[in-house]
Structure 1
Amino acid sequence: MRHALTIAAALALSTTLAHAQDFTLRLQTFHSADSPVGEGAAAFIDDVETMSDGRIKIEPFFSSAVVKSVETFDAAVNGILDVDMTAGSYQVGKDSAFQFVGDPMGGYDDPWQLYAFVYNGGGLEAARELYASYGMYLVGFHIQAPESLASSKPLRTVADLKNFKFRSPPGMETMIFANLGATPVVMDFTEVFTALESGVIDGADAANLAVNKSLGLYDVVKHATYPGFHSTPANHLAVRKDMWDSMPADLQRIFEVAYEKFAFRLTLASAVETRRAASELAAQGVEMHDWSMEDRKLFRDAALSAWDEFADTERAKQIVKLHKDFQSLIGLREAD
């Protein structure tokens, strides 16, 4: 009897020790600790550590404190970090497919349509295959409100984009807007306010309405596209694959569930903040321009043409097809 109890105790101790294994992960984000994403990330970390009973510990580095934002992905792959909370669009140089998981520009009208593609349109599975090919496990995406253009002239329709000279990030966006007659000027995010103030540009693609307001852009120009239509970036959470694979299934599940909570709450909070910003800006005389469904379709058609041109790898073409099939399913475009 005593022998049986000894064996049982040993087994119980073995199980306890196995479950006591700790994982310490170093996470970097380009957001500051006091930003909405930074505060959400802190809550996510607390959820993971609490639900795992301390078996997972996450050391956060805000404002890209370890390496430059664009270097976060490779730093995680190479073991300098473990978790990348930045953006897949930084990795377009590796494969143009990252553009279509990081920001399928012009593809959707709101974040929830994009989430639906991720979870119900095959997007997450395709994206995880892409990330795995570079040594990372994609946990998922967090999506804020669609971005709004700030401009010194009204942008009521697609036709108003003709000769519109504006700050644009590099890449596929310049192709889309140039095809519609605009003049994109690639410049650093930090130069936007001065360029608007001096009249070097007529407007800017910077961020969503609330962030644009916080940057003071509408102190200089008095027009905004709202709700946005041209860009809905999906930032990511990705873990080095060998680290992820070493974690037991229960800890992986905790990580994923806590992240979905963070992502969806961030999206809801962002919607509220942009609505609040819209009300405040309207009271200050800023004019909001909500494009008609016809103009959104014209923009989307131009975007899809650029997608076909930009997608220069088989994996990118596969993800573009997934997007188009899902757009047809939910009524955003006619089926081929």
Structure 2
Amino acid sequence: MHVYRTTALCAALAFGTATVAGAQSVTVRIQNHQSPESTSGRLIADFVENVETMSGGDIDVEMFYSASVVKSAETFDAAASGIIDCDMTNGSYQTGKNPAYQFVADTMGGYDTPLQFQSWIEYGGGREEINGLYNTNGMTFVGAHIGGQESLVSTSPIAGPDDLKNWKFRSPPGMESEIFASLGASPVVMDFTEIFTALETGIIDGADASWLSNNVGSGLYDIAKHTTFPGFHSMSSDHLACRTDFWEGLTDAQRAIITSAEKNLGYELMLATVVENGEALVALPEEGVTIYDWSQEDRAAFRQAAFGAWDEWAQKTPETAEIVQSHRDFIERIGLDAPASN
């Protein structure tokens, strides 16, 4: 398997090998919701190899793919309760705990690129905002990985907002369901791992699953021959979050190694997505897939609906209002077209 390494990662490797040698070995049990064949899944395998190599074998990672231990939405609680140690799924699954979790995972129309979202985490106070939520549930946020804007997949044409009318599609829980419902669609919340079968059996007509190359890796275009690209509606970020007592029980060096490997995963995922999305864009039409590039007017209609949802969700809890304002402040700070607060 090819293991990606950056200069920072190589430096961490030297640091980790020198400092962790002789430390007590530890096993880290992590569940993700990606298939091993997807872009994210392959890079998660590199994450595992990087952690184990940097630690000189003192950290053993047991990685569970495709939500094989518990359902995706249950992973966070499974880690908090000790069934596993860390969650590598998506914060939006936890909106039932607090609506603020929506804005940990996907701002829906807020940022244009994954770099901007990662910058909010590292330089816009995002890490502190996220841990303000996670710590109350016994979890600690380690880092995020996000490929880019997601592409809708469908078994029927999806050329613009009019095609959303009565369109029955898989949606993640949270704000997205409300936005699409306001545009006439019929969102169905289901586990990430159930999408392929639901499309195959006709339970749903389409799905918001992931970006173009990840959808290819999941086999969705074997069934759904219509897709949007470039993506515009969602840029959902998966996370690495660990049970706080487990995380604090690691040595400083072990935490540094895992954090460095997670940052490298985020970096490599952005790069790989650019390349593999481009390759998919060339290959998919030859496989009978129709690609729809929504007009600026149609994109604006969706974004307006999304910004309206920001205001509604900001009123749900004080924590949601705080994290929404954090995003608004950072978006204005870096010169993006920020959603105005009513």
Please confirm whether the aligned pair reaches a TM-score higher than 0.5, indicating the same fold.
Answer: yes
2:304 maps to 1:301: yes
Local SS of the residue matching 2:109:
coil
- Specify the alignment match of 1:325 in structure 2: 329
Q: Structure 2 vs 1, CA of residues 302 and 286 (structure 1 numbering), >3 Å: closer, same or farther?
A: same
Give distance in 2, aligned partners of 1:32 and 1:184.
Answer: 23
Local SS of the residue matching 1:133:
helix
- Specify the alignment match of 1:193 in structure 2: 200
Q: Structure 2 vs 1, CA of residues 24 and 272 (structure 1 numbering), >3 Å: closer, same or farther?
A: same
Local SS of the residue matching 1:106:
coil
Give distance in 2, aligned partners of 1:76 and 1:178.
Answer: 32
Q: Say whether the 8 Å CA contact 1:108–1:229 is kept in structure 2.
A: no
Give distance in 2, aligned partners of 1:152 and 1:61.
Answer: 30
AA matched with 1:240:
R
Which of 88, 93, 109 in structure 1 is aligned with 2:91?
88
2:117 maps to 1:110: no
Provide Cα deviations, 1:266-307, integer angstroms capped at 9, x if missing partner: 222122222111111234454433334454333222112112
Q: Say whether the 8 Å CA contact 1:73–1:84 is kept in structure 2.
A: yes
1:19-34 alignment runs, 5 A limit: 20-34=23-37
Local SS of the residue matching 2:28:
strand
How far residue 62 of structure 1 moved from its aligned partner, in angstroms, is: 2.6
2:255 maps to 1:243: no
User: So what's the TM-score if we normalise by structure 1?
Assistant: 0.83
Q: Which runs of 5+ in 2 are unaligned?
A: 1-18
How far residue 228 of structure 1 moved from its aligned partner, in angstroms, is: 0.7
How many residue pairs end up in the alignment? 316
Which of 67, 72, 76 in structure 2 is aligned with 1:73?
76
Q: If you compute each CA radius of gyration, which structure gives the higher value, 1 or 2?
A: 1
Query: RMSD over aligned Cα, in angstroms?
Result: 2.8
Which stretch of structure 1 is more off in the superposition, 56-65 or 288-297?
A: 288-297
Give distance in 2, aligned partners of 1:107 and 1:143.
Answer: 14
Q: Say whether the 8 Å CA contact 1:152–1:221 is kept in structure 2.
A: yes
Give distance in 2, aligned partners of 1:212 and 1:60.
Answer: 21
Which of 319, 329, 339 in structure 2 is aligned with 1:315?
319
Q: Structure 2 vs 1, CA of residues 66 and 121 (structure 1 numbering), >3 Å: closer, same or farther?
A: same
Give distance in 2, aligned partners of 1:239 and 1:172.
Answer: 25
2:102 maps to 1:123: no
Q: Structure 2 vs 1, CA of residues 255 and 296 (structure 1 numbering), >3 Å: closer, same or farther?
A: same
Q: Structure 2 vs 1, CA of residues 193 and 146 (structure 1 numbering), >3 Å: closer, same or farther?
A: farther
Q: Structure 2 vs 1, CA of residues 152 and 59 (structure 1 numbering), >3 Å: closer, same or farther?
A: closer
How far residue 183 of structure 1 moved from its aligned partner, in angstroms, is: 3.9
Provide Cα deviations, 1:60-115, integer angstroms capped at 9, x if missing partner: 22333333322221121112211111111111111111111122222222322222
AA matched with 2:29:
R
Give distance in 2, aligned partners of 1:184 and 1:63.
Answer: 22
Give distance in 1, aligned partners of 2:219 and 2:63.
Answer: 29
Local SS of the residue matching 1:108:
coil
**Identity over aligned residues, as a percent?**
47
Provide Cα deviations, 1:250-272, integer angstroms capped at 9, x if missing partner: 22222111110112102221222
- Specify the alignment match of 2:168 in structure 1: 166
Q: Say whether the 8 Å CA contact 1:165–1:185 is kept in structure 2.
A: no
Q: Structure 2 vs 1, CA of residues 145 and 129 (structure 1 numbering), >3 Å: closer, same or farther?
A: same
AA matched with 1:332:
D
- Specify the alignment match of 1:140 in structure 2: 143
How far residue 227 of structure 1 moved from its aligned partner, in angstroms, is: 1.0
Q: Which runs of 5+ in 1 are unaligned?
A: 1-15
Give distance in 1, aligned partners of 2:96 and 2:301.
Answer: 28
Q: Structure 2 vs 1, CA of residues 206 and 40 (structure 1 numbering), >3 Å: closer, same or farther?
A: closer
Give distance in 2, aligned partners of 1:215 and 1:52.
Answer: 31
Local SS of the residue matching 1:288:
strand
Q: Structure 2 vs 1, CA of residues 28 and 270 (structure 1 numbering), >3 Å: closer, same or farther?
A: same
AA matched with 1:167:
F
Local SS of the residue matching 2:302:
helix
How far residue 157 of structure 1 moved from its aligned partner, in angstroms, is: 4.5
